[in-house]
Amino acid sequence: MKVEKMLFTDRLYESAKEIWEKSYNHPFVQGVGKGTLDQEIFEYYMKQDYVYLIDYVKLFAIGAQKAPTLEIMTKFSHLLHEHLHFEMELHRQFAAEFGISNEELENTEPTPVNLAYTRYMLHVAHNGTLAELVASLLPCAWHYAETGERLKEQYGATLESNPYRKWVETYSSEEFTSLGKWLIDLMNQLADGKPERELAELEKHFLITSKYEYLFWDMNYHQQNWTL
């Protein structure tokens, strides 16, 4: 009888499952799904998410630099281009619907949690292997896609009147979820054959940034910022 080999991303998912479930049940996420989240909180999130994305897309540039094959390099460069020229433009357009100007987005100062999250990923990306880079950026793409899909499934019947409908539809779309799927496949490819010591390090990065995902929701929900 053939036993299917457990994928490394299955291990990552099991490790982070409780964190992700806590994130999904956070009042920010549930408020978006129900359409009941205070608009002021969502606007705060839009601004912080914009400056987060500026640093997040840098990871794709570093990924292209560290790519072992032309195929992987090409994919990372494509992701960099798509995020810079289309994803961020969509973000600007969506923010405009809430009365947030491009100038406001550009002048947003990242909060302590936002800075800590992006600086952690950039530190790993600059100083670690490509596998470590992917492990640290994967929770954002994968968790957002799962969140979007679950919200659409749970609240799909009321999305028509939901002011955050576009957000749910964007992150549950095939176009967005395909990014997570590609990164999952790449993570398994890069982890294959690695010793347990290295796998444990990859898992550590994945869990840390999964925790940062939760903290990002919480930070925006409470509109946390510098206290000094």
Q: Which residues are catalytic?
A: 140, 213
- Separation of alpha carbons 72 and 44, rounded Å: 35
Q: What is the 3-state secondary structure (H, E, C) of the chain?
A: CCCCCCCHHHHHHHHHHHHHHHHHCCHHHHHHHHCCCCHHHHHHHHHHHHHHHHHHHHHHHHHHHHCCCHHHHHHHHHHHHHHHHHHHHHHHHHHHHCCCCHHHHHCCCCCHHHHHHHHHHHHHHHHCCHHHHHHHHHHHHHHHHHHHHHHHHHHHHHHHHCCCHHHHHHHCCHHHHHHHHHHHHHHHHHHCCCCHHHHHHHHHHHHHHHHHHHHHHHHHHCCCCCCC
Q: State how far the alpha carbon of 86 is from the alpha carbons of 92, 116, 124, 139, 188, in Å.
A: 10, 26, 26, 21, 28
Single-letter code of the amino acid located at 8: F
